[in-house]
């Protein structure tokens, strides 16, 4: 179960709202910000990029809190992976209405992340691990 919780927290993305930038720019910034928060072990900041539904899914899976999951994930990652989360590569971003999908790479692993626009800001639907 711990592996599932750690995996659930590993990769993600949510977006900061910024005037004059495209949705793709906001998505990239959200992914970067979420990953930096994960790499720093900053649970509250990382969780602020997630949808309420994503946080509730963690709770239903038995997580004590979103913050705790992020902190556990941070502790479980080795130095190489923590460094890699600071330099995620984005292969493709697709936006359709208030939903987006981001394909990314962390080291040699690829992943896909879905986002939803919530009150004008992009939020991570459910963290997806790189594969």
Question: Tens of pLDDT along 80-121?
Answer: 989 998 888 888 999 999 999 999 888 888 888 899 999 999
Q: Which two tokens stand for residue 116?
A: 């939803």
Q: For each of the domains in the chain, give its residue range(s) and CATH number, in order of start.
A: 2-124 (3.10.450.50)
User: Distance between CA 70 and CA 44 in Å, rounded?
Assistant: 8
Describe the strand order of the beta sheet including 109-118 as a list of residue ranges. Answer: 89-96, 99-106, 109-118, 121-124
- pTM, two decimal places: 0.77
């Amino acid at each position: 179960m711990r592996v599932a919780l750690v995996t659930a927290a590993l990769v993600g993305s949510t977006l900061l709202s910024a005037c004059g930038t495209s949705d793709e720019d906001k998505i990239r910034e959200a992914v970067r910000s979420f990953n930096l928060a994960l790499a720093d072990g900053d649970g509250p900041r990382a969780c602020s990029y997630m949808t309420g539904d994503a946080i509730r899914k963690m709770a239903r899976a038995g997580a004590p809190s979103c913050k705790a999951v992020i902190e556990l994930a941070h502790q479980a990652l080795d130095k190489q992976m923590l460094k890699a989360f600071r330099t995620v590569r984005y292969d493709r971003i697709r936006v359709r209405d208030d939903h987006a999908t981001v394909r990314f790479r962390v080291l040699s692993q690829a992943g896909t992340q879905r986002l939803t626009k919530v009150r004008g800001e992009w939020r991570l639907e459910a963290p997806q691990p790189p594969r």
